[in-house]
């Protein structure tokens, strides 16, 4: 993943800029106030930085920044998860209008500043001239050591949250034992009341159906008996009449064939009458008055109604209510089971302690190596005899990041005692230490574009040459972009961009162009000796380029 191109419109003092970037090590130089850091500000904006109307060029109504990157598999996966188009070239775009409204796009789809920021963390690693300030933050310090040790706090953080959750449950249960027991007693009584009824889904409807039938049994039997008499038992019954009609037609069918079709209908009717008669006989044999069963149904229906009224539910809802209360009672039993909660708390603590222990061992193993590597880098940055240490102190209480607090200690020269990095007095020393750490740890990150914004402030001479060589070395496997005012650093670059101001019609604008050959010598000469270029200054500039092999 690397930065390919950036396009600015009406940004600060830039009218319009379309700039392509190469691989390896690129420097941006220019006069003071020319706007060397404008490109860095634009990249921060397009990767989710804070939108500010002050970045809009005076006289314009809005500003726009676009940036192109090569997309890696990791970024493509992120785009897929977030629902954005997956393209080999990643395009980010952001606008800010003079009302302060900001809009953003990722691959032409609308995006939020938060999404830009999450993506930007995978694209750029920016080290500002005050990068040392982050070294005073505990989380940043710990993250640097963990990156060097190639470990993450993800599993430990998850285990910590589980342990704290179990701990909170146990604490709440202990504090609420009295109310829990009262609630459990109440719920247990309610469940026992409903369990006496033993309601079953669908039973309420069946009870009502059975009760209605038994309550009307006498009328039902009389109706069946009367129907049976009309159909079969009387001399003038329906079955007898149909039989006579069928007999008459059969006797005349040899004269009138048409009767045969009617005979079939009557025969079918006779068969159906026989079925009905048979069913009525069967019904009467099985049906009888049963006052005892009717009384039982009355009692059960009354119990259903009584419980439904007591708990303010429809009768048919009682089976579901019983299951709900059984579940709640089981949860109360679990909450009231202190022994079980204590066991859960202990188990989650052991899981956390195991994960945190792995972190501790990895940090203890890597801390001396990181300290030695940064100490060596400090020697080449004008801090001979300086010493860097990584301290690991047991935290006052377990944290989601582990069991220890990580600190950086530094001694600026031989004989001095290492002290917390935030208490080192010299700003120059802080900048150089931050640069040493940046160079050492930048090789660990996954981002392919590293940006250094005047981190070489306060250094010069041989130290400046060392800074340039370090950045050029980084540029062998990363894309490195550095804003610098040091000719020694600029001479080490593979590519050289110059930012310059132009004033026309009482308006100042900034432009950027690449310099090569003699133009580059002229720019290095300006950096060495100012605007008046002497032959000796240009010769010095050529020597720098020749010495650095650029």
Going residue by residue through the chain, which has 550 residues, state the pLDDT in tens, using 9 for 90 and above: 589 999 999 998 888 999 999 999 999 998 876 677 888 899 999 999 899 899 999 889 999 999 999 988 888 889 999 999 888 899 999 999 999 899 999 999 999 999 999 898 888 888 766 555 667 778 888 988 998 899 999 999 999 999 999 999 888 777 766 566 677 778 888 888 888 878 888 888 888 877 777 776 777 777 877 787 777 767 677 777 877 787 788 888 788 888 888 878 888 888 888 888 888 878 777 767 667 777 777 778 877 888 888 888 888 888 888 888 888 877 777 666 677 888 999 999 999 999 999 999 999 999 999 999 999 888 878 788 889 999 999 999 999 999 999 999 988 778 788 888 877 645 567 767 777 887 777 666 667 788 888 777 767 777 788 888 888 888 888 899 998 889 999 999 999 999 888 877 777 778 888 999 999 999 999 888 876 778 888 888 888 887 766 5
pLDDT value of position 211:
72
Could you tell me which of 33, 34, 5, 2 has the C-alpha nearest to residue 17? 5
DSSP class of residue 417? P
Q: Rounded to the nearest 10 degrees, how much is the dihedral formed by the CA atoms of 366, 136, 37, 28?
A: -30
Segment (H or E) for 519:
helix 517-529
Q: How many Cα atoms occupy the beta-carbon half-sphere of 214 within 13 Å?
A: 16
Q: What are 267's two structure tokens?
A: 């025969």
Buried residues in 15-51 as b, exposed as e (16+ CB within 10 A): eebebebebbbbbbbbbeebbbbbbbbbbbbbbbbeb
What's the confidence (pLDDT) of residue 161?
96
Separation CA 190–CA 387 (nearest Å): 73
Question: Would you state the pLDDT for residue 425?
Answer: 47
**DSSP, residue by residue, 126-165:** EE-TTGGGGGGSHHHHHHHHHHHHT--SHHHHHHHHHHHH
Distance CA 81, CA 530 (A): 52
Cα end-to-end distance, the chain, whole Å: 25
Task: Determine the 3-state secondary structure of 188 from DSSP.
Answer: helix
Strand-strand pairing, 25-30 and 495-504: parallel
Question: From edge to edge, which strands make up the β-sheet containing 419-420?
Answer: 387-399, 402-411, 419-420
Query: DSSP states of 95-132 as a string?
Result: EEETTS-EEEEETTEEE-HHHHHHHHHHHEEEE-TTGG
Non-local (6+) Cβ contacts of 210 within 8 A are 297
* Residue 395 burial (CB count, 10 A): 15
User: What was the pLDDT predicted at 346?
Assistant: 94
- Ramachandran sector of residue 60 (left: φ over 0; alpha: ψ -120 to 50; beta: rest): beta
Cα–Cα distance measured from residue 63 to residue 15, given in angstroms and rounded to the nearest whole number:
10
How far is 311 from 307, CA to CA, in rounded Å? 6
**Cα(63)–Cα(439) distance, integer angstroms:** 33
Q: How far apart are CA 324 and CA 508, in angstroms?
A: 75
Which phi and psi (to 5°) does residue 161 adopt? -65, -40
pLDDT confidence of residue 413: 77
Backbone angles phi, psi at 508, to 5 degrees: -100, 130
How far is the CA of 4 from the CAs of 69, 79, 172, 454, 516, in angstroms? 5, 19, 56, 22, 19
CA distance 235 to 269: 18
| 163 HSE (CA, 13 A, CB side) | 21
Sheet holding 124-127, edge to edge: 124-127, 449-453, 479-483, 25-30, 495-504, 507-514
- Quote the pLDDT of residue 62: 94
Euclidean distance between CA atoms 200 and 321, whole angstroms: 11
Maximum distance among all Cα pairs of the chain, rounded to whole angstroms: 146
Given the DSSP bridges, would you call strands 109-111 and 507-514 parallel, antiparallel or unpaired? unpaired
CB-based contacts of 288, cutoff 8 Å, min separation 6: 217, 221
């Amino acid at each position: 993943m690397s930065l390919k191109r950036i396009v600015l419109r009406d940004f600060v003092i830039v009218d319009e800029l379309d700039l392509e970037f190469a691989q390896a090590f690129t420097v941006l130089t220019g006069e003071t106030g020319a706007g060397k850091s404008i490109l860095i500000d634009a990249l921060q904006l397009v990767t989710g930085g804070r939108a500010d109307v002050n970045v809009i060029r005076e006289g314009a109504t809005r500003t726009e920044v676009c940036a192109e990157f090569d997309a890696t598999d990791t970024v493509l996966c992120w785009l897929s998860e977030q629902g954005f188009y997956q393209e080999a070239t990643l395009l980010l775009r952001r606008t800010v209008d003079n009302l302060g409204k900001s809009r953003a796009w990722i691959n032409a789809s609308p995006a939020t500043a938060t999404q830009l920021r999450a993506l930007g963390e995978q694209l750029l690693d920016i080290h500002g001239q005050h990068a040392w300030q982050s070294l005073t933050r505990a989380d940043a310090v710990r993250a640097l050591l963990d990156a060097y040790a190639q470990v993450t706090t993800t599993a430990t953080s998850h285990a910590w949250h589980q342990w704290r959750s179990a701990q909170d449950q146990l604490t709440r249960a202990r504090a609420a034992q009295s109310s829990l027991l009262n609630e459990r007693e109440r719920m247990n009584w309610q469940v026992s009341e409903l369990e006496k009824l033993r309601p079953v889904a669908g039973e309420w409807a069946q009870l009502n159906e059975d009760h209605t039938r038994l309550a009307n049994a006498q009328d039902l039997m009389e109706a069946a008996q009367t129907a049976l008499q009309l159909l079969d038992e009387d001399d003038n019954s329906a079955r007898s009449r149909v039989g006579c009609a069928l007999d008459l037609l059969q006797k005349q069918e040899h004269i009138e064939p048409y009767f045969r079709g009617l005979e079939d209908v009557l025969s079918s009717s006779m068969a159906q009458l026989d079925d009905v008669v048979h069913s009525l006989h069967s019904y009467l044999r099985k049906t009888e008055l049963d006052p005892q069963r009717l009384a039982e149904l009355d009692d059960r229906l009354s119990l259903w109604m009584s419980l439904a009224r007591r708990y303010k539910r429809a009768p048919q809802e009682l089976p579901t209510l019983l299951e709900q209360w059984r579940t709640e009672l089981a949860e109360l039993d679990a909450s009231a089971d202190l022994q079980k909660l204590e066991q859960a708390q202990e188990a989650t603590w052991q899981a956390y302690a195991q994960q945190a222990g792995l972190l501790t061992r990895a940090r203890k193993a890597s801390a001396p190596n990181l300290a030695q590597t940064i100490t060596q880098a400090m020697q080449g940055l004008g801090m001979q005899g300086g010493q860097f240490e990584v301290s690991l102190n047991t935290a006052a209480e377990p944290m989601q990041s582990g069991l220890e607090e990580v600190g950086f200690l530094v001694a600026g020269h031989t004989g001095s005692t290492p002290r917390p990095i935030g208490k080192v007095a010299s700003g120059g020393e802080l900048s150089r230490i931050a640069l040493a750490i940046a160079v050492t740890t930048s090789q660990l990150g996954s981002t392919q574009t590293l940006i250094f914004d005047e981190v070489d402030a306060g250094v010069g001479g041989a130290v400046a040459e060392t800074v340039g060589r370090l950045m050029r070395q980084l540029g062998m496997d990363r894309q490195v972009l550095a804003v610098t005012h040091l000719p020694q650093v600029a001479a080490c670059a593979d590519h050289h961009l110059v930012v310059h101001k132009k004033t026309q019609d009482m308006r100042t604008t900034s432009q950027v162009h690449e310099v090569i050959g003699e133009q580059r010598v002229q720019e290095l000469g300006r950096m060495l000796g100012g605007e008046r270029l002497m032959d000796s200054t240009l010769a010095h500039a050529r020597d720098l380029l020749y010495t650095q092999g650029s």
